[in-house]
Chains A and B, each alone.
Chain A
Amino acid sequence: DSGVTQTPKHLITATGQRVTLRCSPRSGDLSVYWYQQSLDQGLQFLIQYYNGEERAKGNILERFSAQQFPDLHSELNLSSLELGDSALYFCASSTTGVRNSPLHFGNGTRLTVT
Chain B
Amino acid sequence: KNQVEQSPQSLIILEGKNCTLQCNYTVSPFSNLRWYKQDTGRGPVSLTIMTFSENTKSNGRYTATLDADTKQSSLHITASQLSDSASYICVVSFTSGTYKYIFGTGTRLKVLA
Enumerate chain A interface residues (CB-CB to B < 8 A): 2, 4, 33, 41-43, 45, 48, 55-56, 88, 90, 92, 96, 99-100, 102-108, 110
A85 to chain B, nearest CB (A): 18
Count, chain B residues at interface, CB 8 A: 22
A12 to chain B, nearest CB (A): 16
> Using an 8 Å CB-CB cutoff, how does the interface string of B25-60 with A read, 1 for contact, 0 for none?
000000110100000011111100101000000000
B41:A45 contact, CB within 8 angstroms:
no
A102:B99 contact, CB within 8 angstroms:
no
- Prevailing SS type, chain B contact patch: strand
A96:B45 contact, CB within 8 angstroms:
no
- In the complex, residue of chain A having the shortest beta-carbon distance to the beta carbon of B9: A40
B14 to chain A, nearest CB (A): 23
- In the complex, residue of chain B having the shortest beta-carbon distance to the beta carbon of A105: B43
B51:A107 contact, CB within 8 angstroms:
no
B46:A102 contact, CB within 8 angstroms:
yes
B106:A105 contact, CB within 8 angstroms:
no
B101:A41 contact, CB within 8 angstroms:
no
Give complex CA distance A99, B31 in Å.
9
A103:B101 contact, CB within 8 angstroms:
yes
